[in-house]
Amino acid sequence: MSAQAPITRITAPRIAARKGGTPIVALTAYTAPMAAMVDAHADLILVGDSLGMVVHGLPSTIGVTLDMMILHGQAVMRGSARAMVVIDMPFGSYEESPRQAFHNAARLMAETGCGAVKLEGGARMAETIRFLVERGIPVMGHVGLTPQATNTMGGFKTQGRDQASWPAHIGDAQAVASAGAFSLVVEGVMEGLADQITEAVAIPTIGIGASAGCDGQILVLDDMLGLSGRVPRFVRKFGDLGPRAEDAIAAYAAAVRDRSFPAPDQTYR
Ligand code: KIV
């Protein structure tokens, strides 16, 4: 009898060990079927709070709740088997205190089985990140353009346009890394700043609208598949599924109206 090795998921230490190595492939997914497609190709699947805008039609990520993240996190875990799954902590679920963050991160981990949580913020979140990591919760950081802070930033604005601000951004990244985060999303920053952040921290940086010099890249799946309407300039559409889906829907509607669907072989006789 041959014993088959169980399929094990990629873990936080394995992602951390990729610093300076083969770039980490990361994508978002919010549902089981999408997670299954991504799982074969990506090292890491992020159940991003972008799901509030992409799936639920919210104007920003501010209205996303912990229960929404848990529901989508469970679906993504069911749909995948190999990639590490990281779930975003939504706005209001971690900023108040390290204890609040632990309570809600523990719910995310226990109720979904995900491998880590992600939270936004630099030096101001360092104490919270340390608190979580010391208690067994792997944390991915997120600096630069942090969408949950767009109300204070005045919109989705590229960070680091003024080079005088770079030391503060680099300090934020270093604070997150020193606090014990295993990796760091660097979003919407000038390319040179992303490169300097990548050099300044010992954990992998995962860029989005940042630099090819980061230790990995992430995109919102729906954006790169061409399923979203307008996308930021930094998104490359690797597919054009939106128009193709609309064509299929229009063809179905026409077939229903002219009674060519269902055809005889599509009915039970
Ligand atoms: O919510 C999200 O999808 C994200 C990625 C864009 C990094 O945070």
- With the most atoms of ligand 1 within 8 angstroms of its CB, the residue from 220, 223, 231 to mutate is 220
> Which domains, from first to last, does the chain contain?
12-240 (3.20.20.60)
50 lines ligand 1 (CB under 6 A): yes
Alpha-carbon distance 240 to 245, whole Å?
Answer: 9
Report CA(59)–ligand 1 centroid distance (Å): 15
Alpha-carbon distance 102 to 105, whole Å?
Answer: 5
88 lines ligand 1 (CB under 6 A): yes
Alpha-carbon distance 216 to 226, whole Å?
Answer: 21
At 249 the pLDDT is 98
Per-residue exposure over 127-161, b if at least 16 CB sit within 10 Å of its own CB, e if not: ebbbbbbeeebbbbbbbbbbbbeeeeeeeeebbbe
In the chain, which stretches have pLDDT less than 50? none
At 6 the pLDDT is 66
- With the most atoms of ligand 1 within 8 angstroms of its CB, the residue from 27, 28, 53, 156 to mutate is 28
CA neighbours closer than 13 Å in the CB half-sphere of residue 170: 18
- The H-assigned helical ranges of 118-258 are 126-134, 150-153, 166-178, 191-200, 221-224, 241-257
185 lines ligand 1 (CB under 6 A): yes
Express each pLDDT in 134-177 by its tens digit. Answer: 999 999 999 999 999 999 988 889 999 999 999 999 999 999 99
Report CA(20)–ligand 1 centroid distance (Å): 22
28 lines ligand 1 (CB under 6 A): yes
220 lines ligand 1 (CB under 6 A): yes
Angle among Cα 17, 29, 226 to the nearest 5 degrees reads 115
Let me know if 199 is a catalytic residue. Answer: no
Kindly state the DSSP code that residue 41 receives in the 8-state scheme.
T
At 7 the pLDDT is 61
Alpha-carbon distance 209 to 194, whole Å?
Answer: 9
Find, among 91, 171, 183, the residue nearest to 124 by Cα: 171
- With the most atoms of ligand 1 within 8 angstroms of its CB, the residue from 25, 45, 49, 50 to mutate is 50
Residues in the chain: 269
